[in-house]
Amino acid sequence: MTRVLSGVQPSGVLHLGNYLGAVRGWVTDQRSHEAFFCVVDLHSLTLDQDPRLLAGRTLDAAAGLLAAGLDPEDCTLFVQSHVAAHPRLAWLLECTATFGELRRMTQFKDKGGNSETVRAGLFTYPALMAADILLYDADRVPVGDDQRQHLELTRTVAARFNHRYGQTFVVPEAAVPDVAARVMDLQEPTRKMSKSVGSPLGTIDILDTPDDVARKVRKAVTDTEGQVRYDPVTKPGVSNLLDLLGAARCEDPIAVAARYGDYGSLKRDVVEALVELLQPLQERYAVLSADPYQIEQILAAGAARAATVADATLDRAMRATGFLVPPKGFAP
Ligand code: AQP
């Protein structure tokens, strides 16, 4: 059975971009693949985090994934920092990737790559992401469009490592969805919807109430043309609304556009479709979040399963690199 792996940062509750661009596909993947999904808490430290909130946000992210439909019977769900092999393999991969490759990552540039005070981890985290993937011999990595470049780097690094030290890693493929691969910010529709960048009015969280959804969609930036057409280059705001409606109702956004003559009725239907889409997730989230202990148990079992696979891959990579590997039973 082929393997999939993907992850989400605990930088807040999942937003519509996370759900439509990635997590909705994970729910399908878990039934047809051996699936590993993680809350990538180590990645969140690339930006400032409040230590009083991080653990709670990690649990919230896990509850969001379970509410979205991940089932611990069908997949392994865990927290990245609970599996020590991740940062250990990341070091080997930092020493495989080059400075020039990391410097070209657009996410680094977008998040302040020119500043002297930016965290070194923001520069090197694509190597940690490569470790997340390669540890599980993942064939397929379902991600939104924004992660394509990191996936390409993972493939380059895996191939280079294999060439230098002998066959060690599976070289993975990115799996980007056909619809909603890049959900845009409602206020700045040329920028992707994001938890860490952008205004709260531009991002729809999966836990937003119907009133919140209606307010945000009503205020979504469109244009002055007044004509509903799907054209992401010249009409990014309207096209984003069409993408959202198409993704929520599983329809092609161009076909959706043909049904509307004005922005008002389009926005009304976007609200209705999103409220309908989010309602069952919110009901499941309410039940799950009432019992955080149960979520911790799911994550602990997931980490134990994940560590078995990850430790074996790390061991293979350490041996291939030439390190003195300690005898079995040695606990560092
Ligand atoms: N706007 C988006 N449209 C489609 N897919 C998206 N993803 C993220 N944003 C969009 C996909 O969701 C998965 C988890 O992403 P993440 O936790 O790294 O991203 P985020 O929620 O957008 O969080 P941040 O804090 O804003 O981080 P950055 O700016 O680094 O993305 C991934 O598969 C991602 O592709």
Residue 61 to residue 81: CA distance in whole angstroms = 14
Strands 140-142 and 34-39, by their bridges, are unpaired
Letter for the amino acid at 110?
D
pLDDT recorded at residue 265: 97
Give the residue-averaged pLDDT of 241-270: 96
Catalytic residue among 109, 192, 267, 328: 192
Residue 253 to residue 272: CA distance in whole angstroms = 16
> Is-contact 190 220, C-beta < 8 A?
no
Which of 5, 9, 145 is the best mutation target for the ligand 1 pocket, counting ligand atoms within 8 Å of the beta carbon and taking the most?
Answer: 9
> Is-contact 288 295, C-beta < 8 A?
yes
The torsion defined by the Cα of 256, 262, 264 and 269, in degrees rounded to 10, comes to: -20
Cα 108 to ligand 1 centre (Å)? 14
Residue 223 to residue 274: CA distance in whole angstroms = 22
Is residue 195 flagged as an active site residue?
yes
Apex 14 CA angle, 33 and 8, nearest 5: 50
Give the residue-averaged pLDDT of 176-180: 86
**Does ligand 1 have an atom closer than 6 angstroms to the CB of 134?**
no
- Three-class SS of residue 125? helix
Which band of pLDDT confidence, cut at 50, 70 and 90, is reported for residue 113?
A: low
Is residue 219 flagged as an active site residue?
no
Using the atom order of ligand 1, give the atom closest to the CA of residue 111.
Answer: 29
Give the residue-averaged pLDDT of 207-235: 96
Is residue 328 flagged as an active site residue?
no
pLDDT recorded at residue 11: 79
- Three-class SS of residue 173? strand
Cα 18 to ligand 1 centre (Å)? 5
pLDDT recorded at residue 332: 67
> Is-contact 90 127, C-beta < 8 A?
yes
**Does ligand 1 have an atom closer than 6 angstroms to the CB of 183?**
yes
**Does ligand 1 have an atom closer than 6 angstroms to the CB of 194?**
yes
Using the atom order of ligand 1, give the atom closest to the CA of residue 14.
Answer: 21
Which residues, listed in sequence order, are joined to residue 1 by a DSSP beta bridge? none
Phi/psi of residue 100, nearest 5 degrees? -60, -40
Which residue has 């845009």 as its token pair? 184
Per-residue model confidence as pLDDT tens digits over 10-50: 977 799 999 999 999 999 999 999 999 999 999 999 999 99
For 8, the enclosing helix (H) or strand (E) is strand 3-8
Which of 11, 49, 194, 240 is the best mutation target for the ligand 1 pocket, counting ligand atoms within 8 Å of the beta carbon and taking the most?
Answer: 194
Predicted TM-score of the model (pTM): 0.94
> Is-contact 169 134, C-beta < 8 A?
yes
Cα 160 to ligand 1 centre (Å)? 27
Which band of pLDDT confidence, cut at 50, 70 and 90, is reported for residue 1?
A: confident
Mean pLDDT over all residues of the chain? 95
| Burial of 239 per CB tally in 10 Å (0-12, 13-18, 19+) | buried
Which band of pLDDT confidence, cut at 50, 70 and 90, is reported for residue 311?
A: very high
Residue 184 to residue 315: CA distance in whole angstroms = 41
**Does ligand 1 have an atom closer than 6 angstroms to the CB of 149?**
no
The torsion defined by the Cα of 119, 87, 72 and 175, in degrees rounded to 10, comes to: 70
**Does ligand 1 have an atom closer than 6 angstroms to the CB of 4?**
no
Residue 79 to residue 300: CA distance in whole angstroms = 8
